[in-house]
Amino acid sequence: MSRPKSLNHSDIACAALAVMDRDGLPALSMRTVATQLGVGTMSLYRYVKDREELERRVVELVLGEVDPVVPAEKSWREQITCIVERIRHAVIAHPATVPLFIAHRHASPSIRRCSEELLRALTRAGFRGTPRVIALRMLVSYVSGALQAQHLGALDGQGTMVLASLSPDDYPLLAATARAALQVDPDKEFFGGLQIVFDGLAQNLASTKPR
């Protein structure tokens, strides 16, 4: 009788990520990961408790190599840009994982480290208390939303082409904007939006300072 296949957490995380890359987040389950590994589903329960643990291990696999530490001499905008750019590069190859970063932000050591450095940059800029809470939430919302939009509705995708073909008599602004959007590359879209977020945060910070 052959011995059961020996696994480790890295094997399982890689298999779970492979399932998600191929079939999307809804396909992730103990059964599909076990099939990817070539083992029985019950064998997988010896190593992970449930799907939620699978998700957390995928998050760590994707973000575990991200270095959140940035040079202290950079401006707060440069520091945050550096951190989110590293996150984006790590995630962009695995867009199905984007929803997991919000769901597991409280439990992931990698996300906690990135969040701590984002907060450090915001604190250096002068954010405290409630404004700092809102600033961090805005940054997280922007990054996760932008990555999701790039995956599900890229500017050079079919959806934009449909909008660009609308009748200019009925939708003059929407059609013209969609045609312009076809010429915007993903980097320009992402970092251009990030600058708008920065401008809003800076304006909010200025408005809360004592006069």
The pLDDT score that the predictor gives to residue 210 is 62
Q: Is the pLDDT assigned to residue 3 strictly greater than 60?
A: no
In tens, the pLDDT along 78-111 reads 999 999 999 999 999 898 999 999 899 889 999 9
The rounded distance, in Å, linking the Cα atoms of 58 and 52 is: 10
The pLDDT score that the predictor gives to residue 173 is 97
In tens, the pLDDT along 149-177 reads 888 888 989 999 999 999 999 999 999 99
The overall average pLDDT reported for the chain is 93
Query: DSSP of 45-100, one letter per residue?
Result: TTT--SHHHHHHHHHHHHHTT------TTS-HHHHHHHHHHHHHHHHTT-GGGHHH
| H or E segment to which residue 138 belongs | helix 129-152
State which fold the 67-208 domain adopts: Tetracycline Repressor; domain 2 (1.10.357)
Q: Is the pLDDT assigned to residue 180 strictly greater than 90?
A: yes
Q: Is the pLDDT assigned to residue 70 strictly greater than 70?
A: yes
The pLDDT score that the predictor gives to residue 135 is 96
The CA–CA distances, whole Å, from 77 to 80, 124, 139, 187, 192 equal 5, 10, 11, 17, 13
Domain boundaries, the chain: 9-48, 67-208
CATH class (in words) of the domain with range 9-48: mainly alpha
The pLDDT score that the predictor gives to residue 31 is 97
The token pair that represents 98 in the structure block: 């984007």
Residue 210's φ and ψ, nearest 5 degrees, are -60, 145
The rounded distance, in Å, linking the Cα atoms of 124 and 7 is: 44
Q: Is the pLDDT assigned to residue 4 strictly greater than 70?
A: no
Q: Is the pLDDT assigned to residue 2 strictly greater than 50?
A: no
Q: Is the pLDDT assigned to residue 9 strictly greater than 70?
A: yes
Closest CA to 98 of 194, 21, 197: 21
The pLDDT score that the predictor gives to residue 208 is 77
Q: Which residue did the predictor score with more confidence, 206 or 209?
A: 206
The amino acid occupying position 86 is R
The pLDDT score that the predictor gives to residue 1 is 35
